[in-house]
Structure 1
Amino acid sequence: MAHVTATPLHKVPNYDDDVDFEALAIQDADFAELYHAADGKLDFQDPKAVQWIQDLLDTTSEAYDDHYDPAREVVGLDIGTGASSIYPLLGTSSRPTWTFYATDIDSKSLTYAQKNIDLNSLNSRIHIRRSTTDSPLIPLSALSVSSLDFTMCNPPFYSSAEDMAESYASKSAPPSAVCTGAEVEMICEGGDAGFVLRMVKESQALKTKVRWFTSMLGKLASVHQVVARLKEIGDVARSGELVQSILPLPTAQTVHTIGLSRQESADHLNTTLRGLNLDWVWHADGWTGIAIAKENVWSRSARRKHKRHAELVDHADDGKDMKMEYDGANEHIALAVRILVRDGEMDVRWLRGEDYIVFESFCGMLKRAMRPQRGP
């Protein structure tokens, strides 16, 4: 299944009035580092506030993969890179093992982009390709690659010059910066939604040849339009809370471990899951594990059945040397999750499975298991 993430640039209503950043900063220490309580704003000058593709690649893993290594080689495509080729330059400068392909239909833009790449001595890791309005947006064959880790795109936002003028005229405040985009960068048939829906159509053919299909969107209406189409074809989408009404159910939950140290939480989690009839393996870091279940094996009746028919397996070790034999090819999986143990909480991310109720039930079991034990 392909993954698609849509990130709106301009939300309505304005996010300042829709999200309680102060409350979020209290709950999330990482977010608090980027939040300025004095003026209630995010620090978008901090690179960590805008590196969302890095977060996707660093925190997601298929159930049958080894633990994701942020230092591994990554290949991405910037669709419509523009004259600056800024995203490939930023990506390769911050991640030495990343390689980019960058496409654009404007030859003048590509000329300047290549100069920027040469000036930064990155021509061995950023490869420029000319495209046309009729060529695929994700041309794997033309790029001579069989797969990509991600695509990224800052699409033309407007369907016509009139659409662009009307958009500017409707704004209550002047733009924060002068617009230097060429017409081919700003206008296309169908605007940003039309452009991204072309990507969606191509993703149906490419499927898992691209791990993440990503794009920015300029209008909230476009997010609704794109996500609605994704739901029609059965793809996975991630976006902000403003469009929860049209998005799939959440794919992650937090389990609080009040009163337990991080090590105690990890030990208790290990004991709990090893007592169930599922595949459970720790990764080398000792804080992350993958659980795979063919069915709901954590219900009370399932646990009783497993206790009566326990497999003759020696679990005397701590589980860290166990190997996961699942190949993900021919076996039905009811649920696969990745669990990261932190100080005071666990992050539970839904990796595989089609029934949200099963995922929610599993998280509920973990929440009950991790509650402090009451005395007599």
Structure 2
Amino acid sequence: MKPKTTTEKTSLHPRNPHRFRYDFEQLISNCPELKNFITSNKHTTEDSDITIDFSNPDAVKSLNKALLISHYNIQNWDIPSSYLCPPIPGRADYIHYIADVLAETNNGIIPKGTTVEGLDIGVGANCIYPIIGNSAYGWSFVGTDIDENAIQNCKKIIQNNPKLIEAISLQLQTESRFIFKNIIAPEDKFAFTICNPPFHASAEEANKATTRKVNNLQHVKTSKPVLNFGGQNAELWCNGGEIGFITQMIYESAKYPQQVLWFTTLVSKKENLTSIYRTLNKVGAVKIKTIDMAQGQKTSRFVAWTFLNETQQKNWTF
């Protein structure tokens, strides 16, 4: 028997509970259905020779269920077939780095509790960001989406987990061309916004990217891939793609300069940063940050901006 070693994923945020290899024994104990998807790992010499097939959407969803039970005390989580099933470690990183950004204007202390409210643009059917943010820091959230079915599924998740009922509210965006309009009311004050924007500019572009991704995971070429992480049209693409969506977000954000401490969004394509910075400077953002993140071989980042000066930031009450 080979000695058991512990491999730490040092690229993840130091507070991310997923920095170490999955403890499949514990995960299966909490979510027995995961056992049906366990397979041998032929590509590692590390401490565990078991894994799941990450090209199988049912396996990925079962792993998410197990992680949510084990780390976030979330029971009966589920999403409809073909909806986006997010990789939880990467989503957790975004939340923990936002906590660091908030701490910078709070005497180095991460603000906690339900008075810290976040706005999740495109909450999807999975409700992952609000779940992690509430579990890790006690934050409250408003989750928005243009998809009524996604909102309804989030309602089911919340109802099945009573601790979320007072912490997460949901709002349907009835005009898909807008992001903050119809959502941010005059009396609202959000500590941050969070967003995983659609990557692609068309359904064709999204399908091509998915084919490449799944072929890489399966090591077998296919022209009709099964979406391992799923995704509806609104989750995967929009007119103008990522840069179009974020540009619209920036212009709209300038209409709510005093109501949000930090606007943030993921940026998957590094080449979009130059245009994003240019637009942020055009609308008068006072401070802009780019936070780099990494999960395994994948690198990503989010951009954060505020219209508040340093004094206003420090006087923000959570």
- 1:80 Cα deviation (Å)? 0.7
* 1:184-242: CA deviation from partner (whole Å, max 9, x where unpaired): 11111111111111110012111131111111122122233212322333423222579
Instruction: Give the Cα separation in 2 of the matches to 1:84 and 1:194.
Output: 24
1:145 deviation in Å? 3.6
Corresponding letter in the other structure for 1:60? T
Pair 135,44 (structure 1): closer, same or farther in 2 beyond 3 Å: closer
1:59, 1:141 → 2: CA distance? 27
Q: Does 1:216 align with 2:266?
A: yes
Following superposition, the deviation at residue 49 of structure 1 comes to: 8.0
Q: 1:103 aligned to 2:103?
A: no
Structure showing greater radius of gyration is 1
Counterpart for residue 100 of structure 2 = 55
**Aligned position for 2:281:** 231
- Say if 2:112 is the partner of 1:71: yes
Count, aligned residues: 215
3-state SS of 2:239 partner: coil
- Matched with 2:157 is 116
Structure 2: distance between partners of 1:130 and 1:154: 17
Cα 1:175–1:240 change in 2 (3 A) is: farther
Give TM-score scaled by structure 2 length.
Answer: 0.56
- Other structure's SS at 1:206 match: coil
Aligned to 1:86: 128
1:149 counterpart letter in structure 2? A
Any idea what SS the aligned residue of 2:152 has?
A: helix
SS of the residue corresponding to residue 205 of structure 1 reads: coil
Residue of structure 1 equivalent to 2:78:
none
Aligned-partner residue type, residue 104 of structure 2: T
Does the CA contact (< 8 Å) of 2:100 and 2:110 recur in 1?
A: no
User: 1: CA distance between counterparts of 2:236 and 2:14?
Assistant: 37
The residue that corresponds to 1:206 in the other structure is 256
Once superposed, which parts of structure 1, at least 4 consecutive aligned residues long, lie more than 6 Å away?
Answer: 28-31
Residues 120-159 of structure 1 deviation map (CA, whole Å, 9 limit, x = unaligned): 1112111011113446412476656432111101111111
Partner of 1:138: 180
* Equivalent-residue separation in structure 1 for 2:266 and 2:91 (angstroms): 19
CA deviations 1:300-359 (Å, max 9, x no partner) are xxxxxxxxxxxxxxxxxxxxxxxxxxxx59xxxxxx99xxxxxxxxxxxxxxxxxxxxxx
Q: Please give the secondary structure, in 1, of the residue aligned with 2:126.
A: coil
CA distance in structure 2 between the partners assigned to 1:209 and 1:100 by the alignment: 15
Q: Which residue of 2 aligns with 1:161?
A: 203
Query: Kindly tell me: are residues 49 and 223 of structure 1, through their superposed partners in 2, closer, same or farther at Cα, counting changes over 3 Å?
Result: closer
1:21-60 correspondence runs (5 A): 44=89, 51-60=96-105
Query: In 2, Cα distance between the equivalents of 1:204 and 1:142?
Result: 12
> What is the CA–CA distance in structure 2 between the aligned matches of 1:132 and 1:181, rounded to whole Å?
20
Distance 1:185 1:175, change over 3 A: farther
TM-score when normalising by structure 1: 0.48
Deviation at 1:34?
A: 5.1
Instruction: Tell me which amino acid in the other structure corresponds to 1:199.
Output: M
Provide closer, same or farther for how the CA distance between residues 169 and 225 of structure 1 changes in structure 2, counting only shifts above 3 A: farther
Structure 1 vs Structure 2: percent identity of aligned residues?
27
TM-aligned CA deviation for residue 74 of structure 1: 0.4
1:222 aligned partner, one-letter code: N
User: SS in structure 1 opposite 2:257?
Assistant: helix
Contact 2:189 2:259 in 1 (8 A): yes
For 2:216, what is the secondary structure of its paired residue? coil
One-letter code aligned to 1:239: T
Work out the CA distance in 2 between the residues paired with 1:29 and 1:215. 21
* Residue 222 of structure 2 corresponds to residue 188 of structure 1: no
> Please, which moves more after superposition, 210-219 or 47-56?
47-56
How far apart, in 2, do the equivalents of 1:214 and 1:52 lie?
11
CA distance in 2, matches of 1:135, 1:29: 37
Gaps of 5+ in 2: 1-8, 22-44, 47-87, 219-226, 294-309
Q: 2:145·2:173 contact (CA, 8 Å) conserved in 1?
A: yes
How far apart, in 1, do the equivalents of 2:116 and 2:205 lie? 37
Q: Distance in 2 between matches of 1:215 and 1:49?
A: 10
CA–CA distance in 2 between the matches of 1:67 and 1:30? 15
Structure 1 residue 125 and structure 2 residue 189: aligned? no
| CA offsets 1:255-312 (integer angstroms, 9 cap, x no match) | xxxxxxxxxxxxxxxxxxxxxxxxxxxxxxxxxxxxx9xxxxxxxxxxxxxxxxxxxx
Counterpart contact for 1:99–1:126, Cα < 8 Å: yes
Letter aligned with residue 54 of structure 1: A
Q: Is the 8 A contact 2:92 2:129 kept in 1?
A: no
- Give the letter aligned to residue 181 of structure 1: G
Equivalent residues of 2:145, 2:172 under 8 A apart:
yes
